[in-house]
Structure 1
Amino acid sequence: MHHFWNSIVLGNSLESYIIVAATILFVIALKRVIARLIARLIFRFIRRMGSGLDKSAFLDLVVGPIGTFLVVFVSMSSIEKLHFPAELNFDIYEVKAKTIFQAIGIVIIIASFIWLLMRLVDFIALVLRRKARSDGSPRDVQMIVFIRDFLKAVLGIIGVLMILHSAFGVDVSTVVGGLGLAGAAIALAAKESIENLIASFVIFFDKPFKAGDMLNVNNISGTVEKIGLRSTRIRTLQKTFVTVPNKQMVDSIVDNLTLRTQRKGELRLQLSLSTPAGQLDAFIAGVRKILIKDKVENSTVFLNDISGNAFLVNVDYFTAPIALDEFNAIKQQVNLDILRLMEEMGHSIAGASTTISVTGMTPGPAAQSNNG
């Protein structure tokens, strides 16, 4: 029996294969339990940094990456204990198979580790965003999201450099130095991306708008849902999703509707020229009384012009920056009240009725036969 366990297959004993396989299967079977235990230990350390941290949110974010990193790390460490079979160490494009497998393992380990760090950044950002919301600081929430995305991008770049160095043996210092030589070419190729990145910093520090604001920009009207490193996402009034490069947002005229102090309603009336001056004056006074409402802060009603076809009466009124539905209800009520006033006073809109008369035409044969 002892001789059987020591049997050599592809350069390793059966006992070695079984130990490695059992270790990997054990970790896979218990990875979630072990990952949650490690996550709880990490959370216990993080909790000392502040109170009110959400343990369940932390576990949801990091248990998956910890489990993946654990399985990959233990699997690679266990497999490293085995001798790579000479029969399988063939060349692939002049590179040994063993080298390729080792590089793949290193890539997976580094990727899972960077993934874990990104999830930790997500959790820290989540905690800071909740704190900013509780303090009533929406602009701080916006800045936290921006910094979170920036840090994750930096971690991604670090991960790529680590993979190049550890898995492929590339001298990172040479790569960084080479960037200086190729800087002009890279800057030219990535000119638009760099401009958008700089524009994102301008938006965050100049603060012309924030997430949740309603804007008019480049014939687009909608609510800002997210400001990223490259672009701003806007949900339009038609419920479509528009992505606008940050450089365009900075270069364009942005009308921030959320920052307005009032909403404006307007009505342009064209009254018949047959309306006597006294009735016109009484009508304007009646409209002014209609606009004396709780929600209407100020208003203006006046005879703006006398054209060849009508008396032009302008009606302008302003409310507080209330919700659109509430404003539309007020607007409808004002319009209906003005219509009722016109009916009571017998006024009519100029050009409201048109009579078309056709003369000088001879009836056709069908009409003549009918008349006959």
Structure 2
Amino acid sequence: MVSNSGLMASRWIPSHRSEGGVSIQILFCKNRRRKREVSKMQNLLNTAFFGVTVNDYLLFFSILLLALILRSLFDRYLSRLLMHWAQKTEAKYDDMFVDAITPPLNALFISVGLLVAVSVLDLPVGDVDIRTFVLQALKIATSIIFVWVFYRLCAPVTEMLRDFMSKSDGDLAAQFAPLMRQAMRVSVVAIGGILIIQNLGYSVSSLLAGLGVGGLAVALAAQDTVANLFGTFVMFTDRPFKVGDWVQFKDVDGDVEAIGFRSTKVRTWSKSLKVIPNKVLTSEIIENWSAMPKRRVKMTFGITYDSTPEQIEALIARIKTLLKTHPGVDQDYMLVNFTGFGSSQLDIFLYYFTATTVWAEYMEIRQDINLKIMKIVEELGLAFAFPSQSVYFENPLTTRMEQNFRLPDDPTLPQ
């Protein structure tokens, strides 16, 4: 017979103390399992491929992905929001500013993202330090993007200055704006180049000192450039012409198309483009036809000698009335006079100015007046004279011929 004590000894009855021990054991087992998993994960992250750990690869692609997301958000939302806001305003400059900075900023997100992502990579150092080389290249790329931003901003800034200057002198603003834009862009590129040289580790002061050794050769080579720049300065102070003017000097005849730092471009009437150094223009006699306030017409035509004084007076009076009533004729000064007796005509002199200086309009006005003068001459019964010569003989020509070639009297011939 088994006693109760033996039965109780063979059965395990968990107590409060024993339950707590089991929980601790289970928790301890879980912690050990977690530690093993964490250890495996750490081993995996520390695994190197081509000298770079998986952890660095994950961090690299995470930063790059973040940069792409930020760029996408900027391109889809922020840039469109800025453009939408700019289009609501009346000013045109904010539109130009937003349009100027949007493409460089898109590239800047990628460049900065790559720069930060590469900086966290622990690339192996061998014969060539790849990490340093890539970081240097990305720094240069970022500097170029910043230069690109300021380069594109030159256009809206120039437009603002042009509108400000046009309030006092519109012609000077139109002529000076392209040069000012070029000067700003050259300055931006020069400063950007200096920054890039410094990022490459070179000393700019040492470079300039080295250039000073060959300063004489550079000065001799650049004397034409300096002369052209001086010519540009003289042209802007004297202002003999502006863009769009019709100028003529030597064998050049056409419209001024552009005025640059080194040269001026003239589009000839044959549509060819002539580029003239500015130093040449400062020493030439330039005839600016567009600077005329009005265009002159000076002409003389002849009337035949069989015209009467009354007809000449009527002709002059009607031509004066024509000029005074014509809308294309300037009314400040005009002359219509009978000026003299020509070899084969009575000279009528016309002198007047057209109200326009545009060549095509000037020719139309002159043609219209000439046609109306022809009608007046015809209505008055006059005629235009042309060079001619009359020969008078002392005796009639027929009489001399009869004397030289007289035939004998013959009654059979018809009389």
TM beyond 0.5: yes
TM superposition shift of 1:102 = 4.5
Q: Distance in 2 between matches of 1:80 and 1:339?
A: 90
2:220 paired with 1:188: yes
2:378 paired with 1:339: no
Larger mean Cα displacement after TM superposition, 28-37 or 225-234: 28-37
Alignment match, 2:95: 56
Max Rg structure: 2
Alignment match, 1:171: 203
Instruction: Give the number of equivalent residue pairs.
Output: 337
2:134 paired with 1:115: no
Q: Distance in 2 between matches of 1:40 and 1:176?
A: 46
Q: 2:293, 2:357 within 8 Å by CA — same for their partners in 1?
A: no
> Residues 15, 317 of structure 1: CA spacing in aligned structure 2 closer, same or farther, 3 A cutoff?
same
Look up the equivalent residue of 1:27 and give its one-letter code.
A
Alignment match, 1:77: 116
Percent of aligned positions that are identical:
25
2:194 paired with 1:153: no
Which residue, out of 41, 51, 57, partners 1:17?
57
Q: 2:290, 2:357 within 8 Å by CA — same for their partners in 1?
A: no
Look up the equivalent residue of 1:21 and give its one-letter code.
F
Alignment match, 2:170: 137
TM-score for the superposition, normalised by structure 1 = 0.75
> Residues 5, 270 of structure 1: CA spacing in aligned structure 2 closer, same or farther, 3 A cutoff?
farther
TM superposition shift of 1:289 = 3.2
> Residues 170, 281 of structure 1: CA spacing in aligned structure 2 closer, same or farther, 3 A cutoff?
same
Larger mean Cα displacement after TM superposition, 279-288 or 176-185: 279-288
Q: 1:72, 1:109 within 8 Å by CA — same for their partners in 2?
A: yes
Q: Distance in 2 between matches of 1:280 and 1:198?
A: 59
**Deviation digits for residues 108-138 of structure 1, max 9, x if unmatched?**
2222111112223322222222344466633
Alignment match, 1:253: 285
Q: Distance in 1 between matches of 2:337 and 2:289?
A: 27
> Residues 119, 288 of structure 1: CA spacing in aligned structure 2 closer, same or farther, 3 A cutoff?
same
**Deviation digits for residues 115-162 of structure 1, max 9, x if unmatched?**
112223322222222344466633134334433321221221222222
Q: What SS does the corresponding residue of 1:216 show, helix, strand or coil?
A: strand
CA RMSD of aligned residues (A): 3.5
> Residues 85, 218 of structure 1: CA spacing in aligned structure 2 closer, same or farther, 3 A cutoff?
farther
2:386 paired with 1:350: yes
TM superposition shift of 1:61 = 0.8
TM superposition shift of 1:175 = 1.8
TM superposition shift of 1:351 = 4.6
Structure 1: gaps of 5 or more residues: 45-50, 91-95, 353-372
Q: Distance in 2 between matches of 1:178 and 1:302?
A: 77
Relative CO higher for 1 or 2, CA cutoff 8 Å, sep ≥ 6? 1
TM superposition shift of 1:350 = 0.8
Q: 1:69, 1:109 within 8 Å by CA — same for their partners in 2?
A: yes
Q: Distance in 2 between matches of 1:273 and 1:107?
A: 89
Q: 1:39, 1:59 within 8 Å by CA — same for their partners in 2?
A: no
Q: 2:63, 2:116 within 8 Å by CA — same for their partners in 1?
A: no
> Residues 220, 314 of structure 1: CA spacing in aligned structure 2 closer, same or farther, 3 A cutoff?
farther
TM superposition shift of 1:313 = 4.1
Structure 2: gaps of 5 or more residues: 1-39, 389-415
> Residues 220, 268 of structure 1: CA spacing in aligned structure 2 closer, same or farther, 3 A cutoff?
farther
Give the alignment of 1:287-366 within 5 angstroms: 287-293=319-325, 294-296=327-329, 297=331, 298-302=333-337, 308=343, 310-321=345-356, 323-344=358-379, 345-351=381-387
Larger mean Cα displacement after TM superposition, 132-141 or 32-41: 32-41
Q: 1:265, 1:317 within 8 Å by CA — same for their partners in 2?
A: yes
Q: Distance in 1 between matches of 2:262 and 2:72?
A: 36
Q: Distance in 1 between matches of 2:132 and 2:157?
A: 38
Look up the equivalent residue of 1:23 and give its one-letter code.
I
Q: What SS does the corresponding residue of 2:243 show, helix, strand or coil?
A: coil
Alignment match, 2:37: none
Larger mean Cα displacement after TM superposition, 98-107 or 154-163: 98-107
Look up the equivalent residue of 1:247 and give its one-letter code.
K
Q: What SS does the corresponding residue of 2:186 show, helix, strand or coil?
A: helix
Q: What SS does the corresponding residue of 1:251 show, helix, strand or coil?
A: coil
Q: What SS does the corresponding residue of 1:210 show, helix, strand or coil?
A: coil
Alignment match, 2:22: none
Q: Distance in 1 between matches of 2:312 and 2:64?
A: 92
Q: Distance in 1 between matches of 2:214 and 2:231?
A: 24
